[in-house]
Amino acid sequence: MRSDYETLKLDRVENHILIVTLNRPERANAMNTQMGLDLRDLWRDLYVNAEDVRCVILTGADDKAFCAGGDLKERNGMTDAQWQEQHAIFEQAVMTMMDVPPPIIAAVNGVAYAGGCEFVLLSDFAYGATHARVALTEVTLGIMPGACATQMLPRAIGLRRAKEFLLTGTPCSAQEAFEWGIFNKLCEPADLMNEALATARKICANAPISIRQAKKSLNMSTQIDFRNGYMFEIEAYNRMVPTEDRQEGIRAFNEKRKPVYKGK
């Protein structure tokens, strides 16, 4: 897996945790074309071969911004064709992010506006610093969300609240984001990464094949009917029966020790 990204900083923690930092602090970590390419390539590489990464934490550089959305200075003066070409790159980044096998935790350390808010929604779940603010501001700029917000936001907070939030473009506080269901937990800024890491460690201690299969099945629950969703769940379940990790989990339980999972 590459580590030489121009707009991303990658850090490995305790072998199985990958911290991905959106690293354009001079532009509030706004997403330019290069960041779109970098994210697309990173998520693609994790899909093809996650190596020993079992959980990803996505955050922003500095303590003011998670991601301010698309870089409007770069977009200023773009032709329609250039705009759509750039957005196609962002679309690829979005689609590959949704397919990443390891869970992605967003550690929202500041403002998450527009596309930044969409990164939060695309993550498997999110923790927010108490000073964070979240908004989908696209309609105030003559456009609309184009990175799955119209699909992910209603699933997170309900359709009626999603309409109010999106159609006004009004930011919400971290407390509101927590109460609505955008954030799973609120943290003091100094504790945010430690809280995200503590949860990542719990995930990494579990069987990695189980985590991947459970994530796939959970994602499918919002896309198909109940009976077919259950059939998908059973197929995912059966994938784990012949694994070494399943045998290790049962053996460790009976031996009253912590299991050592190898993803096999």
Q: Is 179 a catalytic residue?
A: no
Going by C-alpha positions, the residue among 17, 28, 8, 5 that lies closest to residue 194 is: 17
Contact 231, 148 (CB under 8 A): no
* Separation in Å, CA 215 to CA 47, 76, 98, 163, 203: 14, 39, 11, 27, 12
Which DSSP helix (H) or strand (E) runs through 166? helix 159-168
Dist CA 214 CA 161 (whole Å): 28
Burial of 164 from C-beta contacts in 10 A (0-12 / 13-18 / 19+): exposed
From the list 118, 235, 244, 255, the catalytic residue is: 118
Q: Is 138 a catalytic residue?
A: yes
From the list 51, 91, 138, 244, the catalytic residue is: 138
Dist CA 43 CA 158 (whole Å): 28
* Separation in Å, CA 181 to CA 114, 230, 249: 17, 25, 32
β-pair type (133-135, 172-173): antiparallel
Active site residues: 118, 138
